[in-house]
């Protein structure tokens, strides 16, 4: 039954992506917030469809910690595909820093391009960091939040990867604050395998971390400490 439910979910996910694809060129003339609202209907549908087919719900704590005005750099735990969908329901209009290979995925990659994702070559080192700062600053100045998964790859609950400094550097170079986010989505939508586990994902938004006038390494370490501690707490580890 779990396999059948997962198969139904992925079928709906694929068909809904095909259905929304014709909107990509149509939304290009729209201001980014309107473009984001239109295309994020795909995420909203799939969160609903995930609940219907696989029994995966979600809840959010700490919404009051989100800045009321201005932009922000979001540093989020990366355990699953779920957070790329769920954060679209939680955060203001935003884009992502991601590996450029994702733009080559048919349909899905086109949508990322329309939403002005910052696609980097992760092997480019300093050039990739410069790209994150330059393009990230342009997005932030335009009122678009920037979401960074500092681990760079999905990591199973209870595990951790080294936090890349790019997101923190973007914040310190531009003066925009950091919003740390922890969750346990990997317990219900795991990195490996395609079956889903019924239950409720918990997302916790942490207190804003000021970045102006600070060193990137210091901000990165503060965000990492909070995210890892809170993620372990959520998972009962």
> Model confidence over 51-103: pLDDT tens digits?
999 999 999 999 999 998 889 999 999 999 999 999 999 999 999 999 999 99
Question: For the structural domain made of 56-235, what CATH number should be given?
Answer: 3.40.1130.10
pLDDT value for 219: 98
- pLDDT score of 236: 87
List pLDDT tens digits, range 132-171: 999 999 999 999 999 999 999 999 999 989 999 999 999 9
> What are the sequence ranges of the domains in the chain?
56-235
Q: Which of 236, 230, 233, 237 is nearest to 77 (CA)?
A: 230
Contacts of 180 (CB under 8 A, 6+ apart): 74, 75, 76, 205, 206, 207, 209, 223, 226, 227, 230
Cα-to-chain-centroid distance, residue 204: 13
């Amino acid at each position: 039954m779990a396999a059948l439910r997962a198969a139904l979910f992925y079928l709906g996910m694929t068909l809904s992506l095909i259905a929304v694809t014709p909107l990509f060129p149509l939304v290009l003339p729209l201001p980014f917030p309107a473009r984001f609202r239109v295309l994020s209907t795909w995420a909203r549908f799939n969160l609903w469809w995930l609940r219907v087919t696989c029994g995966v719900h979600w809840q959010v704590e700490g919404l009051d910690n989100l800045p009321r005005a201005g932009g922000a750099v979001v540093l989020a735990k990366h355990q699953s595909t779920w957070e790329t969908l769920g954060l679209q329901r939680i955060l203001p209009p935003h884009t992502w820093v991601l590996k450029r290979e994702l733009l080559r995925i048919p349909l899905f990659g086109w949508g990322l391009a329309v939403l002005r994702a910052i696609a980097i070559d992760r092997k480019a080192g300093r050039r990739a960091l410069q790209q994150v700062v330059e393009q990230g600053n342009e997005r932030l100045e335009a009122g678009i939040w920037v979401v960074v998964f500092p681990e760079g790859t999905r990591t199973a609950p209870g595990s951790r990867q080294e936090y890349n400094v790019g997101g923190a550097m973007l914040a310190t170079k531009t003066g925009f604050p950091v919003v740390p986010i922890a969750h346990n989505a990997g317990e219900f939508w795991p990195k490996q395998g395609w079956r889903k586990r019924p239950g409720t994902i918990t997302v916790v938004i942490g207190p804003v971390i000021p970045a102006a006038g600070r060193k990137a390494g210091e901000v990165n370490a503060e965000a990492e400490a909070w995210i890892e501690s809170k993620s372990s707490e959520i998972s009962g580890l």
